[in-house]
């Protein structure tokens, strides 16, 4: 249970970086929401890998290259799921980009990221 709680804390930090990047890019630099969401996902993913490796799963003794490669493949799936969900909610349903990003992030985070990181990347 402690690992799950630590993973959620790591996810919150990564999500903060993800969302703040997207919001700043949209509101201050005029980048469209879909592209800014992808940029935020990249930054959040980099932070999440580092925090999970050293603190959540305490897997720093394992080879970083192998973990990074596995994380990259999981993260690519995460990127596609987030981008696909954002596309559907933004373009097809015309939702607000912050609400869309929040909903998609929560679903993907619990149903995909945590499970694969625990079972595959940092086992």
The model carries a pTM of 0.78
HSE-CB for 64 with a 13 A CA cutoff: 7
Whether 61 shows a pLDDT value over 90: the answer reads no
Q: Where are the alpha helices (DSSP H) in 1-123?
A: 2-29, 33-51, 64-87, 97-108, 114-116
Domain boundaries, the chain: 2-121
For the segment 55-83, the average pLDDT, to the nearest whole number, is 90
Whether 79 shows a pLDDT value over 90: the answer reads no
pLDDT in tens, 29-47: 999 998 998 899 899 999 9
Hunting for tokens 């790591």 — which residue is that? 10
């Amino acid at each position: 249970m402690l690992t799950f709680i630590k993973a959620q804390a790591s996810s919150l930090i990564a999500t903060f970086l993800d969302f703040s990047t997207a919001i700043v890019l949209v509101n201050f630099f005029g980048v469209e929401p879909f592209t800014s969401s992808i940029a935020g996902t990249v930054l959040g993913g980099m932070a999440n890998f580092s925090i999970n490796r050293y603190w959540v799963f305490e897997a720093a003794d394992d080879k970083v290259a192998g973990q990074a490669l596995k994380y990259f493949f999981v993260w690519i799936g995460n990127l596609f799921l987030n981008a696909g969900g954002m596309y559907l909610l933004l373009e097809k349903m015309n939702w607000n980009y912050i609400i869309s990003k929040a909903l998609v992030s929560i679903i993907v985070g619990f149903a995909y990221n945590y499970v694969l990181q625990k079972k595959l990347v940092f086992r």
